[in-house]
Structures are given as structure tokens and as C-alpha cells.
């Protein structure tokens, strides 16, 4: 028997877990670099890469908080959708995989280029394909938490 949990629990746990797993995925995609470097890169979206690279643990903590916050906002969007379309809870695995695609597109081609990191539109490379796979997992994690939430 599945335990049911609240909408808020599905949003917060789904977003936080997906965000933390995504840091690990980014570390692996980039040659298993220190996850603190990944967190600093995330903070660079607000403070710029130069400031992020020279910062200490407080900058990594900022990046971690931003990553979890973004995960929670993204999970909120999915859970609102699941409230309106219960099929997203019943068929959580394909729905989560599908949800990962627009998350990848928005993060890669809108959020990062408009952040303090900038850099324009990246080409679709093998590394981008790995990032897409990470976002598919991100979507599945969020959908898994949403599947038994009370909506």
C-alpha cells in the first residue's frame, strides 16, 4: 500500500531530492568534479562566474540553496499540472520523462543564457545530451514524489 502525502510534501521533497541528485549528475557529467564547484557555478548565475570561482563555501552554499529552490519551483509547476491532469500521477514515469524535456530546454536555452553566466545558445553536443538525460531523471524524481500526493 502506498503512503499518501500532502501536496506541499510532494513539492518540497520532490524538488529538493531532484535538485540534489542533479548536482551529483552535473559532477559526473563534468568528470566527477567536486560538487562544491558545481554549486559555485550555479551561484555564478547570480553573481557571475569570476566571483563564484573565487568565493568560498558561502558561495557554494548559495549555489546549493539556489539549486534546491529551483528544484522546488519546478516541482511546484509539475504538481500543479498533476492537480489539473491526474493522468500525470497515474502515468508518472512517462509523464516525468516528458516533463524533463521542457525543463532541459528552458534551463539550457533560456535561464543560463539570461543569467550572469551568459554565453548565448550552446550547441547540442554529447555533453548536452548527458544534461538532457539528467533532466529526464530530474523530471522522473519529481513525478515519483507527485504520484501519491494529495492534490
Confidence grade of residue 151 (pLDDT, cut at 50, 70, 90): low
Alpha carbon separation from 42 to 1, 89, 150 (Å, rounded): 39, 30, 32
Contacts of 92 (CB under 8 A, 6+ apart): 140, 143, 144, 146, 147
Higher pLDDT, 5 or 18: 18
pLDDT of residue 121: 80
Is pTM beyond 0.85 here? yes
- At 70, is the pLDDT very low, low, confident or very high (cuts 50, 70, 90)? very high
Q: How many CB atoms lie within 10 A of CB 130?
A: 15
Residue 1 has what pLDDT? Answer: 52
> 1 in helix, strand or coil?
coil
Q: Give the domain extent around 74.
A: 5-150
Band of pLDDT at residue 122, cut at 50, 70 and 90: confident
Domains identified in the chain, total number: 1
pLDDT score, position 93: 98
- The pLDDT value recorded for residue 11 is 97
Amino acid at each position: 500500500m502506498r503512503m499518501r502525502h500532502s501536496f506541499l510534501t510532494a513539492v518540497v521533497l520532490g524538488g529538493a531530492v531532484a535538485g540534489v541528485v542533479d548536482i551529483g549528475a552535473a559532477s559526473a557529467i563534468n568528470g566527477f568534479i567536486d560538487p562544491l564547484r558545481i554549486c559555485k557555478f550555479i551561484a555564478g548565475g547570480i553573481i557571475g562566474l569570476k566571483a563564484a570561482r573565487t568565493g568560498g563555501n558561502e558561495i557554494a552554499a548559495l549555489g546549493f540553496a539556489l539549486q534546491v529552490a529551483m528544484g522546488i519551483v519546478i516541482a511546484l509547476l509539475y504538481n500543479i499540472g498533476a492537480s489539473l491532469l491526474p493522468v500525470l500521477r497515474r502515468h508518472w514515469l512517462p509523464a516525468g520523462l516528458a516533463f524533463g524535456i521542457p525543463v532541459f530546454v528552458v534551463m539550457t536555452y533560456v535561464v543560463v543564457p539570461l543569467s550572469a553566466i551568459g554565453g548565448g545558445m550552446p550547441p547540442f553536443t554529447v555533453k548536452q545530451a548527458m544534461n538532457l538525460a539528467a533532466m529526464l531523471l530530474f523530471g522522473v524524481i519529481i513525478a515519483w514524489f507527485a504520484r501519491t500526493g494529495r492534490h
